[in-house]
Amino acid sequence: MHSRTLATIFGKNIAKEINKKFSTTIKSVDDEYLILDYKAIRGYGGTAIFWQKDLNNAVNIMPDGNARIQVLTINSSPNPICLINIYMPSAQSSGDNEYKDTLDQISEIMDKYKELYQIILCGDMNASLHRDNRKRDKLFEEIKNINNLHIPDSYPIKPTIFHHNGKYTSQIDYILFNEKCLQQIKPAVKIASRHPTNTSDHTLVTTNFVMNVKRCTLRPTKIYTRPNWKKCDKSVYKSTIENSLGKTSGQNNIPNNVESRIQKLESALHKAGMKSIPNYGKLKTLKSVGKGIWNSKISQASTEAKSAHKIWKDKTIKNQDAVLEKQNLKKKNAVCDNYRDRHMHLKRKNS
C-alpha cells in the first residue's frame, strides 16, 4: 500500500492509469479551487493511496475529512487499521488558520476511530518534530501528544524535503502510529536518499510491517421505502382489503389461531398497498455516508475567513484601498480562532 501527494487535479486521472493491478483513492486540493492561479507553476497538491486490487474486499474508503485528508480502514487482525493520509497547508502565514483547522479535523477523525482501530497517520505535515520550534512545529507537536501518536525509537532523522534553491532542507514528512498500533505491528521506517528519477522536492518515507488481512464480502444495505400515502387510491386500497379478507361471513376464510390471522391480515395489507400506492415496497440501496464528526461552526467560520482573505488579497494585488477588507479579515479570523480554541479546550477537558 502506498500513499503520496499529487500535483494537480489533472493528475488524478493519470494516477489511476499508473498500474492496472492497483486500486486508488485520490483527493486534490484543486477540487476546492476549480480555477487555478494563472501564475502558479503547479497545482496546490493533494493525496493518493494505492493498494493491490486483491485487497479490495479488505479496504474501505471512508468519507471523513476535507480535500487534504484521506481516510481508509483495513480489515486486519488482531485489530483493524485506520490509515489517515494528509497533505497539510504550506508555510505561508495566510494558511495558518487552514493549518489549525486541518489539524482539528484530523484530531476529530482519530477520536472517531481510535476505540476500534489502530491509527496510522502519514503524509506531508509541513511541520517538523526536529527543528527550532516554529509556530506550526508546536501545533503539530501538540496534536501529536494529545492524540497519543508516536514514532518508533529507531525513526531516522533525515531531510525529507529539498528546496529547489539547493539551500533549504527539512524533515516534514512523517509516519506516526498510536501506541496500540506501535506495540502490535512494530513498524520499521526508512527515509530514502535522493534519486535522480525522483522529480519531486520530497523524498520517499516508507514503513514495513506484517499484518493479517481478512477479506470480506461487502454487501450494500437495502431497505424498503416508506409508502407514499398521499398518492394512495383509497377506494382501491379499501376494496382490495375487503376482497382479501372476505366481506361477508360466507367469504371469511380467516383461520382461528392468532398467528395465522395476523399473517392473513399482513398479506392483505401488502396486497392492497401494491395495488393502490405507486412504488409500494420498493427496495432502496443506502449509500455509505459516514458519521458527521466535524464541528459545523468551525467549518463555516473557516470558510468565511478564507473568503475574506481572498477578497483582501485580490484588492492588495491590484493596489486598491483594502482597509475595510483587512478589518473584516481580522474579524473573521478572530471568530474562527475563538470557535477553534473553545473546541480544543473542551477536547482537552474531556480527554
Q: Render pLDDT for 287-305 as a digit per residue (tens, 0 to 9).
A: 544 444 455 677 778 788 8
The reply to whether omega before 159 is within 30° of 0 (cis) is no
Residue 291: predicted pLDDT: 40
- The answer to whether 127 and 163 have CB atoms below 8 angstroms apart is no
Domain ranges of the chain: 2-218, 222-285, 295-351
With residues binned 3-state (H G I as helix, E B as strand, rest as coil), the percentages for the chain, rounded to 5, are: 40, 20, 40
CA atoms within 13 A on the CB side of 236: 13
DSSP 221-267: -EEEPPP-GGG--HHHHHHHHHHHH-SSTTT----SSHHHHHHHHHH
Residue-wise pLDDT for 86-106, tens only, equals 999 875 665 678 888 889 999
The CATH number assigned to the domain with range 2-218 reads 3.60.10.10
DSSP element (H, E) containing 303: helix 296-317
pLDDT of residue 217: 57
Q: How far is CA 61 from each of CA 14, 87, 174, 182, rounded to the nearest angstrom? A: 20, 17, 21, 23
Question: The dihedral of CA 171, 343, 115, 217: what is its sign?
Answer: negative
**pLDDT tens per residue across span 5-52:** 444 555 666 666 777 788 888 887 766 555 555 455 555 677 889 998
In 3D, which of 76, 175, 75, 165 has the Cα closest to residue 123?
175
**Mean pLDDT value across the chain:** 80
Q: Is the pTM of this model over 0.75?
A: no
What is the SS3 assignment for 211?
Answer: coil
- Which three three-digit cell numbers place residue 66? 476535507
- Cα(126)–Cα(93) distance, rounded to whole angstroms? 12
CA-CA distance, 43 to 51, in Å (whole number)?
Answer: 24
Q: Kindly indicate the confidence band of residue 276, based on its pLDDT and cuts at 50, 70 and 90.
A: very high
Give yes or no for residue 275 having a pLDDT over 50: yes
Sign of CA dihedral 249, 251, 252, 255: positive
The dihedral over CA atoms of 315, 319, 320, 326, expressed in degrees to the nearest 10, equals 50
